[in-house]
Structure 1
Amino acid sequence: MFLRFDLKKVNTSGLYYKNDGQIPSSKIKNNKIINSNITFTKPYKIQVRASKMINGKILPKKKTLDFSPSETLLNAVKKAAKKYEQMMDNLSSYKINQEEFSKTMLYKDVFEKYIQYKIDQYKHRDDKGEFDYKERESFHNKWLQSILNKPIGEIDEEDIQNAVINIKKAGRSERTSRKVYQFTNPVFKYFNMKAKKFGNEISSPALQRDLSPLNNQRGLDLELEEIKLLFKKLKSYRITPAREIFMFLMHGRRLNEVLTLEWHEIDFKNNTYLIPKEKNKANKDMTYKLSHRLKEMLESIGIKENGYVFTQEKDKSKPYSASTLHDHWKKLNTSIVKHQIRNCIVVYLKNKMRITDNVIAGAILGHKQNKTITDAVYGQLFYKVFGDTLDEMLDDIFDEKPVAKQNEQDKLEELEKLFPNKSKEELKKVLEILG
């Protein structure tokens, strides 16, 4: 049983004393405590009850507070009254949030809240990574202007499809057009997470389940001479560290592999560097030769013991931004995208150097291993042989005098020293593949 309060000069709305027999009957009238001058011999409780009409329904909240016998009833009532005010304020905020996360809420407002939510979420992750919101903001401002000022509940599949069509009309890749789905669907998912408690859940028009498998291949129209001109332009680019990053790309690395490369992954003694499985698509640790060109580039920016090799200007603890590099790429005014540097390497190695597809894909570009050729043939252990092949390609492209070539016997002897656990037949097979 609970007793209410009727005390002068004190607001006791929503406060109820849990009757435990400690309140004398002389201080109770009509089931209400009328005098706070009471001596307690044991702990006592006051229940705080708050309620508010929301959307035609009463939303109740209650909280029971415990007090020691040394706490006067008047002080306890004052503390409970403050708690009541807090609970009523929270209910008012609850109503505001309900109205905020409605189907009439503009998509751009939901997007802003989603970005802040993800930034806060990443701050508390164990890996201390950072949510890359800049690319999403840039993409929305460039390709999704048509839905930014539209109520989120009115956006349908046609709106999403129109954005995809506009990207394709602009000549962008299928991978770029799919970002419409990849960047908007999480926003709808976030909205539903916040709004479903109010009955405002909506179906996302940007679900990817009906999309066909990705086909991101883009034809490369450059001739061999045009590839040479492009690579020379990249090599002579004046701004660092964009120039150094371009050099790694011309060695077959993916952009993310370069931007996340760390100093401890580079072995200057053995002239190798490692792209761990967590950072590559082959899903296995990949070792590559640290060519004299890469080594010179790294020396030019200053070799360090740890941290990212390429860092942001203002915060050296963070890797260089892909969007910043993209700004440098646009200044080159070339007809291809950065990722197509790898296509250039394929074209040049096949048509000029006469290297087979399997060697190019597995050992140089770091694709998943082709099951028709075993690791014994071109596994990552043979990074030096394939690194030499890439050096020869760049020598030819840059019209630079190559280092004197070894004869087959010299190459075989060097490989035997590097890989004593491999048979001579296996090592010969590698040399045969490279021609």
Structure 2
Amino acid sequence: MAINLNDYKRVAQNLKVNKKNMREFLFDFRVNGKRYRKVETLIERTGWNKKDYEREAQLLLIDYRKKVEANTGNLQITSNTRLNELWELYFQTLDKSTSWTFTKESFYNRYLKEPLGKKKLDSIQEHHIMAIIRHLQAEGMATRTVNTTLEILRPLFDFAIKNKALRDNPTRFIVLKKDNTKKIVINGAEMFKRIFEGINDYYSSQPFYRALFLFGFTGRRKGEILKLKWENIDLDNNYYWIEDTKNNEKQKYELPHFIKEALLQIQDTHTGLVFKSPVTGRMLENTDGQMNKLKKHLNMPELTLHYMRNVLVSALAERGTEAITLSGMLGHRDATTINKYLSLSYHNSSKKGNATMGQIIDAEVVE
């Protein structure tokens, strides 16, 4: 029976679900240029939701692909292999337990698949890659986002070299500017208050983005914000948990009242991701567009989520906040530049820091 692709929607790499049946999945992938498709209908299980079925389907997909690869000689990658085919093979080797793996998957599908994916490996040259980089720069993408291009392509081509499909890596001589991680912030308290008022003003009628940027304003990393779930927020006791952190540990923080107010105004089922895409319902892939609007509103071209962390540290340091408290607020495992043997309480640090933030926000700025 022919498969009608219009009956399915994508839920993960090489995996689609039937739009009318959350237990029916379509496996769709290529190995050595040949396309393999298979429909799998899972047994109905009591208490399972669509996420449970999706996880089960992903495991079955991995098993099915391994069987196909075992029968086709998966590692016979050649110079004629197309980049999309190489990516599918390479992706299977990545650690699926880390969020960075799926960030790379999202970036590849969004920015690299269309311009490069159908090209044969030996036809891809440095100028093809630089054209993508220049396009991202022209779109106003953050330096960190642009650099992700090489963080994906460089090991991908190395994978091809290891499998004797290429002799050289076309990204070899490409060097990109790195973000200046030591941006100097002058008059931190004044800038801190300006950013706070700007976020609340520009997103006064959009609690979704108001909450998102206020989390960044209080020290959270972009990845931590975008992966935050409603289940990790205790609105009654005013705290939240960050589970998937840069340090791979759970961290508890106090929930500031101004973020809580924004969260309560978000029209949502309050389950799963807090900051899910209003279009796809999945995790937001990019916040650069909204950040560019906020930069323009504040007339602050240097503003990024990471820069907000710099401003936070400068503003609180001006008020005499201890380095150990600042480290805890930012989610550092230890205050390495102060005393790496001091233990940190993220919750207590965030409470102390939030109290000082309140003083700065409520204070009059003296010219």
Same fold (TM over 0.5): yes
For 1:396 and 1:378, locate their aligned partners in 2 and report how far apart those are by CA, in whole Å.
Answer: 29
Q: What is residue 257 of structure 1 aligned with on the other side?
A: 224
Q: Give the CA deviation at 1:393.
A: 3.2
Q: 1:364 to 1:126 in 2, by over 3 A?
A: closer
TM-score, normalised by the number of residues in structure 1? 0.51
1:295 maps to amino acid:
K
Q: Give the CA deviation at 1:341.
A: 1.0
1:184 aligns with 2:149: no
Describe the superposition over 1:105-151 as per-residue Cα deviations: whole angstroms up to 9, x where unpaired. 7xxxx3333455578x59x968998565443355559xx98x89987
Quick one: higher RCO (CA 8 Å, sep 6+), 1 or 2? Answer: 2
- Number of corresponding residues: 280
For 2:280 and 2:142, locate their aligned partners in 1 and report how far apart those are by CA, in whole Å.
Answer: 32
Describe the superposition over 1:68-112 as per-residue Cα deviations: whole angstroms up to 9, x where unpaired. xxxxxxxxxxxxxxxxxxxxxxxxxx9xx99x9436x7xxxx333
For 1:398 and 1:293, locate their aligned partners in 2 and report how far apart those are by CA, in whole Å.
Answer: 20
Q: 1:345 to 1:183 in 2, by over 3 A?
A: same
8 Å Cα contact 1:281-1:368 kept in structure 2: no
Q: Give the CA deviation at 1:300.
A: 0.8
Q: 1:139 to 1:397 in 2, by over 3 A?
A: farther
1:132-147 matched pairs, under 5 angstroms: 132-136=104-108, 139-140=111-112
1:294 aligns with 2:259: yes
1:388 maps to amino acid:
A
SS at match of 2:289: helix
Q: What is residue 292 of structure 2 aligned with on the other side?
A: 330
For 1:328 and 1:165, locate their aligned partners in 2 and report how far apart those are by CA, in whole Å.
Answer: 21
8 Å Cα contact 2:207-2:265 kept in structure 1: no
SS at match of 2:202: coil
1:102 aligns with 2:79: yes
SS at match of 1:299: helix
Q: 1:188 to 1:260 in 2, by over 3 A?
A: same
Q: 1:287 to 1:354 in 2, by over 3 A?
A: same
2:226 maps to amino acid:
L
8 Å Cα contact 2:84-2:118 kept in structure 1: no
8 Å Cα contact 2:136-2:146 kept in structure 1: yes
Q: What is residue 410 of structure 1 aligned with on the other side?
A: none
Structure 1 spans left out of the alignment, 5+ residues: 1-93, 400-435
For 1:220 and 1:171, locate their aligned partners in 2 and report how far apart those are by CA, in whole Å.
Answer: 22
Identity %: 21
TM-score, normalised by the number of residues in structure 2? 0.59
Structure 2 spans left out of the alignment, 5+ residues: 1-71
Q: 1:211 to 1:243 in 2, by over 3 A?
A: same
1:7-406 matched pairs, under 5 angstroms: 101-102=78-79, 110-115=82-87, 121=92, 132-136=104-108, 139-140=111-112, 152-153=121-122, 175-176=144-145, 178-189=147-158, 191-192=160-161, 196=163, 200-206=165-171, 216-220=180-184, 223-224=187-188, 225-238=190-203, 239-276=206-243, 279-302=244-267, 306-316=271-281, 318-319=282-283, 321-323=284-286, 325-332=287-294, 333=296, 334-336=300-302, 337-351=304-318, 353-360=319-326, 362-370=327-335, 372-373=338-339, 378-383=344-349, 384-396=351-363
